[in-house]
A and B are shown apart, each in its own frame.
Chain A
């Protein structure tokens, strides 16, 4: 079951009714059961994998909060067990297939595995670092791992924040319902209207990189950048909206990433923010420790990006070396940005407040977007060979691009997809203009209702309600 499945329309009110009617421990049990039922619809294998991860995390967490001896051992054993299971489920099959002399076991990571595995690691490490923080029974920790809105694709939460929000009394107010509905509706629009309409075009073109004309490869690469953004951030918006109905606040995971003017900011403050924070807290900071030297920071940064690439790999079409290249490229861009820190600061200070500053911001945004776009090609293409072929063909066609653009037989589909992306960018650009934002909020109430009505009809008329899985679920 997905947020976009017909079954979810029945599941959500039922789960919500129980949460509103029940109190205390009964409510906690109800929410755990609802989460397990939700995940159970993805198959018993999924539940078994979840049970294994939860068992390790809860046992390690319990030991770490109650014991004063062998705590480091418990920490490393817990983390190693989860990483070992992740390695087995995600990487063994492609590795065995590539070697040829090892038996394949038919193992695959179930939907959302990496997300709850990383959440479980965060739980164990946090229990190790601060055993008294958010202290509570195993029920709370289990719900933290299993909470259905975030189970399949995050955000990656921390136990302290989650426990705090869980303790609040559930009091559904009109304001909360309106905010939740807005998040869910906008998330749905992003997923079923934008991402799922862009997906078929991208799939068709990326399936034949050697035969698609360069203009198609260019358009498909742009389309994929917006498809992946809308697919993933749409999920997060829905997860946050649904969770909020239950009185549980989830973290913001995206902040208009394609308006970023630096690759570092793109990764740390705008795209999959909770994963970046996870890598910062559980990999980067432990790696550099108290050392401030560049000699350790640069390799540590690259290690984080390579780990992120590795996290995405093992997807069923071979090992997925393209994800490692994707991670490495992003690491290189961040390196370059760090190396150019002083000239960039000088430029910013030199033109501060002038029209040049705006132009600089726009140019920086465009450059960052296109750098990220190049890395997405490795992310989306089936293998490194295809990715290189796509980039080579686009590169070769670049000098002739104006002519190709003029001669390309654009269709109604292209127009429709361009309109979707333009609408998305317009909506995302609004918060960049605070005065315009204030004007919008002061508009009569009927205008607001009309806008929501239009959005509802856009969903109904242009949404692709085909139960398409969210891209990030598979990681």
Chain B
């Protein structure tokens, strides 16, 4: 077979280059539109909230995982505002561990002024990358993270220093997950706000499988120490931003608490660290043990949140 003549090769090369350029241009246009749409959609995801409320000053910035969401579901920010005039912003994300919290906190410190940060601490989130590096790289969350230079810079830091996969940055910069949603047809799962007014009938199987789900890698103290280091960074950066920080451990239902692994070593190490850093810790895990305060094995329902607010949160927040 003879090679094709030079002019044919040139035409083909030109056509191919033109085709690739056209694909890239159309992709860029589609990505821009998708990003605008995500940025303008009022959402409850931390980075969407931060984009919408840039430049504001808040008295309480709450950061945490899904366990912090009932504060928002229960209207605590509005109630606090009505009672004391203080403002509260809840930046909670399901399954978000300390590394995701640090990622959110950095963006928050860049976008607004927070007088005090309340970090809702979940021990499970210190025991697996699933709740940390993997959550930052999670395409579902990246889909709801509007493209901004400051966020890209924060993500780059996470890739460089915190072992977050570089594919997360590539996905974010190309807006790939915004164009191609990872959960195109979401299946019924955690109901969150929709279940907030419900009660929960404890089932040993549900509680056990939830506990196993939260600790996928067991309770390796070396992993916990690594993420305690991340929490220390979060505290240091919050202080550097001129904000105070307090740590809150929310109540845990009795049956669920019994199913959790022994975390005494973690508690001791956390206590020492917070004492050394002079950070207040409000440990309310032993409060509200009854299942009537929860809408699933480990999330407070409306009754639980109101009881908690009146019995403990008021005194912490006022």
Contacts and interface: CB of A to CB of B under 8 A. Distances in A.
Given A204-B187, A461-B180, A453 B22 contact: yes
Contact of A416 (B3, B16, B184): B184
Interface stretch (B4-12, B90-98, B152-160): B4-12
A461 B26 CA distance: 12
B180 A456 contact: no
A2 B182 CA distance: 19
Given A460-B179, A461-B180, A173 B3 contact: yes
Interface centre among B12, B179, B180, B187 (most CB of A within 10 A): B180
A204 B9 CA distance: 49
Interface string B9-42: 1001101100100110011001000000000000
B190 interface: no
Contact of B8 (A174, A204, A457, A460): A174
Q: Is the interface of A mostly helix, strand, loop or mixed?
A: helix
Contact of B23 (A197, A456, A463): A456
A449 B22 CA distance: 10
Given A449-B19, A452-B19, A453-B19, A6 B170 contact: yes
Interface string B177-191: 001101011010000
B314 interface: no
Nearest to B139: A466
A457 B26 contact: yes
B288 to A, nearest CB: 34
A345 interface: no
A465 interface: yes
Contacts of A6: 167, 170
A460 B170 contact: no
Interface string A434-475: 000000000000000100110011001111111000000000
A418 B185 CA distance: 14
Interface in B169-203: 170, 176, 179-180, 182, 184-185, 187
B184 A175 contact: no
Contacts of B15: 449
A413 B184 CA distance: 8
Contacts of A461: 30, 179-180
B27 A460 contact: yes
Residues of B contacting A: mostly: helix
B291 to A, nearest CB: 26
Contacts of B3: 171, 173
Contacts of A174: 4, 8-9, 12-13
Contacts of B1: 171, 173
Interface string A3-31: 00010000000000000000000000000
Residue of A204, A411, A413 contacting most chain B CB atoms (<10 Å): A413
Interface in B264-295: none
Interface in A395-423: 411-413, 416
A463 B176 CA distance: 11
Nearest to A174: B12
Given A173-B3, A449-B19, A452-B19, A466 B182 contact: yes
A465 B185 contact: no
Contacts of B9: 173-174
A462 B9 CA distance: 33
Interface in B129-180: 167, 170, 176, 179-180
A413 B8 CA distance: 45
B35 to A, nearest CB: 15
A462 B185 CA distance: 12
B5 to A, nearest CB: 11
B180 A465 contact: yes
Contacts of B167: 6
Nearest to A412: B185
A413 B19 CA distance: 32
B306 to A, nearest CB: 37
Interface string B107-124: 000000000000000000
Contacts of B23: 453, 456-457
Contacts of B22: 453
Given A174-B9, A416-B185, A466-B182, 14 more contacts: A6-B167, A173-B4, A174-B4, A174-B8, A178-B12, A197-B184, A412-B185, A413-B185, A453-B26, A457-B27, A460-B27, A461-B180, A463-B180, A465-B176
For the complex of A and B, 8 pairs with smallest distance between CB atoms? A174-B12, A413-B185, A456-B23, A461-B180, A173-B4, A461-B179, A6-B167, A174-B9
21 contacts: A6-B170, A171-B1, A173-B1, A173-B4, A174-B4, A174-B13, A177-B12, A411-B185, A412-B185, A413-B184, A416-B185, A449-B15, A453-B23, A457-B23, A460-B176, A460-B180, A461-B30, A461-B179, A462-B180, A463-B180, A466-B182
Interface of B: 1, 3-4, 8-9, 12-13, 15-16, 19, 22-23, 26-27, 30, 167, 170, 176, 179-180, 182, 184-185, 187
